[in-house]
Chain A
């Protein structure tokens, strides 16, 4: 069966520090991968999606970046965090091309102080 792992679950980072959130999917190959952000009590904002290794589509211009170094690994990064980067970050995947259902990780709470 397929599983998705996302870490760390919680982190508190100072303004200007770097960020790295990691996500891996098991039990499937060539998934579509997604990073969403959710501000407290709000909807989901699509940040990045990837349909293959090295293929990243950015939806929102900001100081975040994403990379997909391996088929089932998706990384969200920042060189210098801003206060506005605080939020709940969700990694998700779906079966590439034909799949419709999106499966989410448990999320990472980021507080920038």
Chain B
């Protein structure tokens, strides 16, 4: 079963705009991660936020985590055409230790030049 569900499923914006995508999950977690996938390629790690953190920044990325709502959001500011990709959240339920990472369904982001 899917631990994470992202929304929206697809997002199309103009270059320079901000892109926000959300992830909801079902069980208690140790951390939540966001990954990026260019079409037909493997996934690349973007950022990790621990369960005791509420917000984290990395360059143009801002991630928030609300453990009470079991949700996270990824904000990409000042988007570029090169940001076009699919974005996934990943979680490991605390019951699985740090072994079993489950990915969400992904948000397909298209940035128009």
A residues sitting closer than 8 Å to B (CB atoms) are: 32, 34, 36, 41-44, 46, 49, 51, 57, 59, 88, 90, 92, 94, 97-107, 109
Nearest B residue to A99 via CB reads: B98
A44 touches B103 (CB 8 A): yes
Residues of B within 8 A of A102 (CB): 33, 35, 43, 45, 90, 101
21 contacting pairs across A/B (C-beta < 8 A): A41-B108, A42-B105, A43-B88, A43-B103, A43-B104, A44-B103, A46-B102, A49-B99, A49-B100, A92-B42, A92-B43, A98-B98, A100-B31, A101-B45, A101-B48, A102-B35, A102-B90, A104-B44, A106-B42, A107-B41, A107-B42
Q: Which residues of A contact B33 (CB under 8 A)?
A: 100-102
B48 / chain A contacts, CB cutoff of 8 Å: 100-101
Interface size class of B (residues with CB under 8 A): 20 to 34
